[in-house]
Amino acid sequence: MAKNKITIEDKPSAVQEQGVAIKPEEIISLQEALASKKRNVIGKEEVLKATQTLQKYKEGKANLEKRIIDNEQWYKLRHWECMRKEKKQEVEPTSAWLFNTIANKHADAMDNFPSPNILPREERDKTNAKMLSAILPVILDQNDFEKTYNDVWYYKLKSGTGVYGVFWDSSKLNGLGDISINKIDLINLFWESGITNIQKSRNVFHIELCDNDILEGMFPQLKGKLGNSSIELGKYVYDDTVDTDNKSAVIDWYYKKFQGGKTVLHYVKYVNDEVLFASENDPEYAERGFYDHGKYPFVFDVLFPMEGTPTGFGYIDIGKDPQTYIDRLGQAIMKNALTNAQPRYFIREDGKINEEEFADTNNTFVHVGGGLGEDALRPIESTGLGSIYVEILNNKIEELKETTGNRDVSTGGTGGVTAASGIAAMQEAGSKLSRDGNKQSYRSFRELTLIVVELIRQFYDTSRCFRIVGENGAEQFVQFSNAGITPQYQGNEFDVDMGYRVPLFDIEISAQKQSPYSKMAQNELALQFYSAGFFNPQMAEQSLTALDMMDFDRKEFVMQKIQQNGTMFQQMIMMQQQMLGMAMELDSIKGTNMAQMMAQQMQQMGVPVPMAQGNVAQKVDKTEALGGNEGSESSITENARKRVAESTSPT
């Protein structure tokens, strides 16, 4: 009997071979069950192995976590807690020179908040590119991206690396789903040690602590299986007491596999050893991967890069050493000042001076016992610090300013310069470090935008309504779906299957919010172009030649406008000349002078009159030379007659 026992692992053909009577629908049921069993490739054993890999990654970034936690203390001006080796001292001055550096760099970054512009790679994709350029700012605004950009920049300046997470959140919009962009804490993110590009890591883990009761409500299968977190995360030094009891670590595990001739990205969410979701267990994602773009959904924005790691270092790492000596020198100077400001005395033990009355400055009389000799009370002499120590302190402050690029001119100082042009030039030169940091952030923002476009391509299968800013700032409501940007079948040509075409786009990043100086310079340049006649359509060719030799922001846009104006002017000339020819034919039939009037208007506008209508032009020139219209008194004759009349009139 055991020989004829059928298990779910047996193939349907084996069922028939053993001669067991079974209905066709039961065979189908067995096939589905077998397929289901094969699809569940991620189970308890796999997540336990993944957790071991996670622990290994965590050990590899222990130094980074310690540095991030210490830098946060420096940012909060709690660096004496990192500097002191003993108990708290009486005098611990905390100057904010390093904090001011971070605040100034952050202000420069927010003055140049980025804005995306989508450019097509093929002519037929221009409409979709224009639509994406209009709806992307709406998607970013719905994610409150300006606040995320603000937070990531603070993190980047403090720790050297800011990280964006770009995900598809199926819970948004009442289950319709939408894109989610978040700031990621490096403490909660883990990757393979030794790589410099996060996309090269074999696995990437992201961990968040969640209350057990919330998890049990969302996933009933976890009830009774949760305890405290199995993963010990690095912790910041909080002012408040943060309770991590009765919380569990929810782990998002991303990994890449090569299957179907390409690298695909898979995703697993699990708690302890319980799998909540695995893309390889889902038939919809088993072959294609969770995200079609095949990238980890994390974008690193590095300030100062380092070899062997995708992270970098920030301004606190650069400035903490001079800031340490600034505060230690300040401590010594303040101690000396306090010591000299309050007189101290030597009192003999047998002097019999009432110390309480002597210490109380409100007492008019101080009692003493017996005679008061000269040596019974003597002031303690102290030596004041020389000016050299104050000079050393100031030199350390200047060193911090120089090494962090936070000189006075970059914070609004003029250095004694009074000319407006000189001040503007100094401020522009003083902000080159900030511009370099902004360019790196723009590169990261471009990568983020490309991922957003790919998520739109994959998930926007239903039309959505967007309120956009249309022509001349007018409000418009548009519908958009991924129908125009998904892979498109190109049909057959000469019995050859042309396959699918995927519309691709380029991203151009510009500053949505510019600094006051940048706006002033841009506006001044536009006024100079206007004064030079660059926008005169008759000078389009000369203007384009001059602009081709220049280099400034949005140069292509200005040249395009001038080219369009010049083309429209040429078209207008051709139309007017055609109308002039038609007017001449009409004049010859009806005896009117419409052609003459039209030619006169064309000459006043600077429009050349063609040679074919030369007789009309000559007639107009003759009329103007006589000072008026034909058949009337010329202006020359009229003026001469008036002068004669005035000279002969009685005084």
530-558 mean pLDDT: 83
Say what the pLDDT of residue 90 is.
64
In sequence order, which residues have a C-beta less than 8 Å from that of residue 302 and are 6 or more positions away? 156, 160, 161, 310, 311, 312, 440
DSSP 368: B
Going by C-alpha positions, the residue among 419, 482, 386 that lies closest to residue 135 is 482
Q: Alpha-carbon dihedral of residues 142, 143, 146, 147, nearest 10 degrees?
A: 130
Using the predicted structure, report yes or no on whether residue 79 has a pLDDT greater than 60: yes
pLDDT tens digits along 158-194: 999 999 999 999 989 888 999 999 999 999 999 999 9
- Give the lowest-confidence range in 254-263, 325-334, 363-372, 405-414: 405-414
How confident is the model at residue 628, as a pLDDT?
A: 46
Q: Which residue has the higher pLDDT, 475 or 371?
A: 475
Is the pLDDT at 643 greater than 60? The verdict is: no
- The overall average pLDDT reported for the chain is 79
- What per-residue confidence (pLDDT) applies to 164? 97
**Where is pLDDT greater, at 411 or 5?**
411
Q: How far apart are CA 192 and CA 230, in angstroms?
A: 20
| pTM metric for this prediction | 0.72
Dump pLDDT digits (tens) for 262-297. Answer: 899 999 999 988 899 999 999 999 999 999 999 999
DSSP letter assigned to residue 172: T
- In the prediction, which pLDDT does 260 show? 80
DSSP labels, 255-298: EEEEETTEEEEEEEEEETTEEEEEGGGSTTTTTT-SBTT-S-SE
| Over residues 505-524, mean pLDDT | 74
Most confident of 114-128, 418-432, 506-520, 617-631: 114-128
Q: Which of the four pLDDT bands, split at 50, 70 and 90, describes residue 206?
A: very high
Candidate ranges 347-351, 503-507, 577-581, 637-641; pick with highest mean pLDDT: 503-507
pLDDT for position 451: 95
* Mean pLDDT across 466-487: 82
Of the ranges 67-76, 91-100, 460-469, 492-501, the best mean pLDDT one: 460-469
Closest alpha carbon to 580 in 525, 540, 617, 635? 617
Q: Tokens for 637, please give them.
A: 């004759």
pLDDT at position 623: 46
**Domain residue spans of the chain:** 2-39, 345-379, 568-644
pLDDT digits (tens, 9 = 90+) for 576-589: 778 878 888 887 88
Instruction: pLDDT band for 366, please (50, 70, 90 cuts).
Output: confident
Q: Which of 339-343, 386-390, 623-627 has the lowest mean pLDDT?
A: 623-627
Q: Which of 158, 181, 178 is nearest to 77 (CA)?
A: 158
Burial of 595 (0-12, 13-18, 19+ CB in 10 A): buried
Report pLDDT digits (tens) over 377-394: 777 677 777 788 888 888
CA dist list (Å): 267 to 167, 295, 400, 473, 495: 12, 11, 45, 42, 40
Which residues contact residue 26 at a Cβ distance below 8 angstroms, ignoring those fewer than 6 apart?
none
DSSP 417: -
- State percent of the chain over pLDDT 70: 75
Cβ atoms < 10 Å from Cβ of 76: 15
- Does the structure show a pLDDT above 90 at 202? yes
pLDDT of residue 576: 76
* Per-residue model confidence (pLDDT) at position 19: 43
- Mean pLDDT throughout 48-71? 89
Checking if the pLDDT of 67 tops 60, the result is: yes
H helices present in 143-290, as ranges: 145-159, 212-218
Q: What is the CA radius of gyration of the chain?
A: 40
